[in-house]
Structure 1
């Protein structure tokens, strides 16, 4: 099935995970689990939409600097939870033009390799594991409403949050990969704008390639994360059990809460 895109006018990559099938013949309930990009640009109409959609918990995976620069706009009915995956934005999508120019102008592969390293950190760093464990605690405590989780672009920290969550709910690997890669479809306009701005500001070919590579997702990014999981823990289920400390009972509870 195709991802369920929400009708948000001033934000991107807002998707309901509802409808995805599991390997035991069930489906994720709609209006329960929402992944998205940042919420700082939302109009009042968008905020009202999220309220009507039932969003009552907003989990922010961004850093302190990111949220201070672009604080979330959300319904008054929604509880905000700051849950940073990193102490600094290693994806670099929130970096300034000057910072990105310095990092990428000399090497057209710098952005790509930065993302490969970042995905291993998302899997293996203590800070990221603690953040995703807190995320699961919030998901487990959400018995009837919609929970939204996001970072800046809604593709890396959010993307891996979705990978872990869909895996815990019993969604097959092909569907999880398709959901992960769907970001490129929903971010196409934003990526084009970023590249156009960089080009207008005088970015060279290396710079433009690096910018592109940190604003899209490649299969290799997810593969780097999955390789780190299998090398260190043996399997995704072992990762959920050991790194994120999810018990069999909690996995059962997740499926009782979110599947139909």
Structure 2
């Protein structure tokens, strides 16, 4: 894993370097994951250009993007894939974001927030819009002319986290490593999240409200495991899920490995 230090985003990283079950290694410099790119500085843009990124996959819905459009990166093609993940969209928003619907935080409790996030991750597995979005994502990255790519949502945690998990499973990375990659969001967004949560407490004095928003903002192992356990329950293995639901046949998986493994 290689973290890309940018001023205008907090969770931009290369998924290269992970070992697979065939004793191969995920290639560096081909697939990146990030939070939204709407605050990139001119220097950030130069740095992203230098990475050779040709393709951006943006999982945010149209409402999220209005007023929060990504900064244009010359030479890239942008694909908008919407898994219709309303809870994930709420989870990654800030109360003062344009179009974020921050008022939805008002009546949220910690227990309900935790339940919502668990349910959202389960829905990634079965929801028709989600399945279609991640099918399209694989079609994009299987086209070698789209290398290198970066995929992102608002916070780079849930929608992006699930997409990256599917890629890593397809490449043969083990579940423990995939969960660890998901959890890295907390390390890279710690300062940003803590500042936001402190501001919320200063404003409300409500510990339960802060915990509720913490559940929304932070990666929790139980959330991604809800999705992975759902896959195991209904399809026995991630590979079966990728083949039967996402449509990755043996030929596509072989091509994916040829493109993205050393």
Q: Do both proteins adopt the same fold according to a TM-score greater than 0.5, normalized to the shorter chain?
A: yes
Moved over 3 A (4+): 87-91
The residue matched to 2:219 in structure 1 has which SS? Answer: coil
Contact 2:88 2:158 in 1 (8 A): no
Which of residues 50, 66, 87 in structure 1 aligns to 2:64? Answer: 66
Alignment partner of 1:47 is 2:45:
yes
In 1, distance between residues paired with 2:48 and 2:178?
24
Spell out the pairing of 1:163-202 with structure 2 (5 A cutoff): 163-202=165-204
**Cα deviation, residue 8, structure 1:** 1.2
In 1, distance between residues paired with 2:243 and 2:76?
30
Q: 1:96 to 1:179 in 2, by over 3 A?
A: same
Contact 1:143 1:257 in 2 (8 A): no
**Cα deviation, residue 144, structure 1:** 6.9
Spell out the pairing of 1:240-255 with structure 2 (5 A cutoff): 240-255=242-257
**Cα deviation, residue 142, structure 1:** 2.8
Alignment partner of 1:57 is 2:55:
yes
RMSD of aligned C-alpha atoms?
1.4
The residue matched to 1:182 in structure 2 has which SS? Answer: helix
Q: 1:62 to 1:89 in 2, by over 3 A?
A: farther
Which of residues 100, 103, 113 in structure 2 aligns to 1:98? Answer: 103
Which of residues 4, 7, 17 in structure 2 aligns to 1:6? Answer: 4
In 1, distance between residues paired with 2:73 and 2:261?
26
In 2, distance between residues paired with 1:79 and 1:254?
20
In 2, distance between residues paired with 1:78 and 1:213?
34
Alignment partner of 1:83 is 2:81:
yes
TM-score for both structures, normalised by structure 2: 0.93
In 2, distance between residues paired with 1:177 and 1:90?
18
In 2, distance between residues paired with 1:108 and 1:129?
28
- Residue ranges of structure 1 left out of the alignment (5+ in a row): none
**Cα deviation, residue 45, structure 1:** 0.7
**Cα deviation, residue 171, structure 1:** 1.0
Alignment partner of 1:233 is 2:231:
no
- Residue ranges of structure 2 left out of the alignment (5+ in a row): 94-99
User: 1:109: which partner in 2?
Assistant: 111
**Cα deviation, residue 91, structure 1:** 4.6
**Cα deviation, residue 87, structure 1:** 6.0
Q: 1:130 to 1:205 in 2, by over 3 A?
A: same
**Cα deviation, residue 185, structure 1:** 0.5
TM-score for both structures, normalised by structure 1: 0.94
Contact 1:91 1:118 in 2 (8 A): no
Q: 1:83 to 1:175 in 2, by over 3 A?
A: same
Contact 1:241 1:247 in 2 (8 A): yes
1:217-240 per-residue CA deviation (whole Å, 9 max, x = no partner) reads 111111110121122222101110
1:116-165 per-residue CA deviation (whole Å, 9 max, x = no partner) reads 01101111101000000000000001347310000011011100111100
Contact 1:63 1:89 in 2 (8 A): no
